[in-house]
Amino acid sequence: MEIESIVANTALVRAREGGGNKGRSWKWKEMLRFPHISQCIDLAMNIERDYYSLCVKQPIGKKLFQLFCRSRPDLQNYISLQDALNSAIVLCTALPKFIMLSQSTQCVPILLRHGEICRQRLELNPCGDVFHVCSEDLHDYLSDEPFIQYQDSMFFDRFLQWKKLERQPINKRTFRQYRLLGKGGFGEVWACQVRATGMMYACKKLEKTHVKKRKGETMALNEKQILEELDSRFVVNLAYTYETKHSLCMVLTMMSGGDLRFHINYMGAPGLDKARVRFYAAEICCGLIHLHQKSILYRDLKPENILLDDHGHIRISDLGLAVKLSEGNLIRGRVGTLGYMAPEVIGHEHYGMSADWWGLGCLIYEMTIGQPPFRVKGEHPKPSEMERRIQKEQVTYGNHFSKEAKSICSLLLTKDPTKRLGCQESGGNDLKSHPFFQEINFRMLEAGLTEAPFKPDPKLVYCSDVQDIEEFSTVKGVQLDQTDSIFYSQFNTGSNPIIWQNELIETGCFRELNVFGPEGSRSPDLDW
Ligand code: ADP
Ligand code: MG
Ligand code: MG
């Protein structure tokens, strides 16, 4: 390895580790100083007063609403009940705690209505949706009087201050830049770190001239808008968008563990072990279900687009080809990578979510034996021959496949999309009960409570050496003008609220900064 690479990798590994002040700038408190509450009046006037958005969906909003409830003796129990319900929903095992609570708590209206029903129903079906019903009732209660009082409290004022910080302009100086991670169609992807919080991200840069020359505006905006709408632990998050003189930047979840291509090709022989195949397949399945629920068809499943994080969990990335389908509609268009395209895509037919389930079949196949279907090792058939095989030929399974793996692959690689697994009424949920996934507890997996079977080494950098990533070429003869800036302003919207708020919580900045006056009084910045 060359010295340049060693230096770049060492800097990145050090930044990821954090060190003493966790990678924050020594000026971090100044960067995150609350504006005085009098500077938040415009925000107070314009912010949408929606309980769900302010107190449930936005992570800092939720924390402040909970702090407000805990400061009120008459509301404390509701928050304890909420916690108990949330863990009950995930684990289905919090029954004793739940009953204990229901006996001691003062949440009388909600539990009187549901307490007895809950207990009876739970005996019949311990994983039923009774907790959801209770939880909805709880929210109904909190969204009324308590929500109104919250908006008059210092906790809500503090929330406005956080929102003001969230909306600070984002630019190049918001981040420190580390090594190049990869190259895409419109530009490079770099590791970066937020100076104020120490959070690591990957910055995907789109060169303005490249985008313009290849008329990539719609595509770039499409990727940005789809990512922004999503919030799943199985799809990369979009934390910020901003621009520099030469590029448009998307700041994404940092995926330090490399992509599945790297792991299949360089770290498994042949293919990955069974536990890993099952685990990655299950997480991809959850990611696809999330996308499909939002009517988003992904269309680009292949090992290089599935990335691993520090802990060994995967996320789907690169949503450049994803499309949002309008209610019940299908789409046409031969896009994707040939080896992973479904027969109906190749055949110019109309298709829907079926294309993604075919893609998952190809992935499980490739993870198992290290080679995608319809091609033997070292062979490079002509595109027309690949098309013929995908449309006509039966897949062959060697003795590397267990009975269950063979079964799920052949159900997913069914040529007729109407008969394919995942394409019936209940969609991807059909997959979850397939024997291949018998050892997966999907509820735990979706809650992020399952340990990954393989954990990347924090000292390693799982991507090609810096000098082996081809340099990005420059385009000449493209003039940027006024019309381009309309597109740029649609693209550059700064921080994504939910991801930004999570960043502040995860890095501990929220806890350190969110202090009030002595004995729960207002601090000077909150004094009107
Ligand atoms: P394109 O849409 O142009 O194909 P990608 O989004 O696939 O671009 O990114 C190109 C490469 O950059 C990927 O193959 C991967 O190596 C790297 N990369 C992309 N996103 C991340 C990320 N979030 N974390 C780490 N590396 C990434
Ligand atoms: Mg890609
Ligand atoms: Mg792309």
Sheet with 247-253: strands ordered across: 175-183, 188-194, 200-207, 247-253, 238-243, 494-495
Same domain for 219 and 269, yes or no, is no
Number of domains in the chain: 3
Give the DSSP per-residue string, 404-450: HHHHHHHHHT-SSTTTSTT-STTTTHHHHTSGGGTT--HHHHHTT-S
The answer to whether the CB of 304 is under 6 A from ligand 1 is: yes
Q: What is the pLDDT of residue 86?
A: 75
Same domain for 198 and 265, yes or no, is no
Same domain for 419 and 476, yes or no, is no
Same domain for 263 and 251, yes or no, is no
- Amino acid, res. 351: Y
Q: Indicate whether 163 belongs to any domain.
A: no
Q: Which two tokens stand for residue 420?
A: 């394919």
Q: 236 C-alpha vs ligand 3 centroid, how far in Å?
A: 13
Same domain for 366 and 434, yes or no, is yes
Among 147, 179, 203, identify where a domain stops: 147
Q: Indicate whether 346 belongs to any domain.
A: yes
Q: Residue 321 CA: which ligand is closest?
A: 3
| Mean pLDDT of successive 10-residue stretches along the chain, which has 528 residues | 86 80 90 97 96 97 96 86 74 54 53 61 62 81 96 97 98 95 89 96 95 90 95 97 95 95 81 94 98 96 95 96 88 90 94 96 96 90 95 93 97 96 90 96 93 93 82 78 88 97 96 93 89
Same domain for 217 and 262, yes or no, is no
CATH code of 176's domain: 3.30.200.20
pTM of this structure:
0.91
Residue from 12, 300, 307 to probe ligand 1 pocket by mutation (most atoms less than 8 Å from CB): 307
Q: Which two tokens stand for residue 317?
A: 């990335």
Q: Which two tokens stand for residue 337?
A: 């990578």
Cα 119 to chain centroid distance, Å, stands at 35
Residue from 12, 178, 179, 189 to probe ligand 1 pocket by mutation (most atoms less than 8 Å from CB): 189
Q: Indicate whether 521 belongs to any domain.
A: no
Find out whether 204 is annotated in a ligand binding site. yes
Among 432, 457, 482, identify where a domain stops: 457
Q: 218 C-alpha vs ligand 3 centroid, how far in Å?
A: 13
Same domain for 302 and 234, yes or no, is no
Among 147, 176, 198, identify where a domain stops: 147
Please report, to the nearest 10 degrees, the dihedral formed by the alpha carbons of residues 395, 366, 286, 278 taken in order.
100
The answer to whether the CB of 191 is under 6 A from ligand 1 is: no
Same domain for 60 and 134, yes or no, is yes
Residue from 200, 204, 207, 255 to probe ligand 1 pocket by mutation (most atoms less than 8 Å from CB): 204
525 is catalytic: no
Q: Indicate whether 509 belongs to any domain.
A: no
Q: What is the pLDDT of residue 304?
A: 92
CATH code of 338's domain: 1.10.510.10
Ligand 1 atom showing the smallest separation from residue 182 Cα: 12
d(CA 172, CA 16): 19
The answer to whether the CB of 317 is under 6 A from ligand 1 is: yes
Cβ atoms of 264 and 277 closer than 8 Å: no
Does this complex have an ipTM over 0.90? yes
Pairing of strands 314-316, 247-253: unpaired
Q: Which of 157, 259, 300, 356 is catalytic?
A: 300
d(CA 366, CA 302): 9
Q: What is the pLDDT of residue 119?
A: 63
> Residues lining ligand 2 (ion), CB within 5 A?
318
Same domain for 447 and 477, yes or no, is no
Same domain for 476 and 365, yes or no, is no
Q: Kindly report the backbone phi and psi dihedral angles of residue 398, in degrees, each rounded to the nearest multiple of 5, phi listed first.
A: -80, -175
Q: Indicate whether 522 belongs to any domain.
A: no
Q: Tell me which residue has tokens 């062959």.
A: 396
Q: What is the pLDDT of residue 249?
A: 97
- Residue 193, domain extent: 3-26+168-256+469-495
Q: 186 C-alpha vs ligand 3 centroid, how far in Å?
A: 9
The answer to whether the CB of 306 is under 6 A from ligand 1 is: no
The answer to whether the CB of 236 is under 6 A from ligand 1 is: yes
Same domain for 140 and 277, yes or no, is no
At residue 33, the 3 state secondary structure works out as coil
CATH code of 139's domain: 1.10.167.10
Q: What is the pLDDT of residue 71?
A: 94
Q: 448 C-alpha vs ligand 2 centroid, how far in Å?
A: 25
Q: 201 C-alpha vs ligand 2 centroid, how far in Å?
A: 17
Same domain for 300 and 414, yes or no, is yes
Q: Indicate whether 88 belongs to any domain.
A: yes
d(CA 494, CA 168): 8
Q: What is the pLDDT of residue 237?
A: 97
Q: Indicate whether 488 belongs to any domain.
A: yes
Q: What is the pLDDT of residue 94?
A: 47
> Which H or E run contains 219?
helix 217-229
> Which H or E run contains 297?
strand 296-297
Other CB atoms within 10 Å distance of the CB of residue 74: 9
Q: Indicate whether 514 belongs to any domain.
A: no
At residue 179, the 3 state secondary structure works out as strand
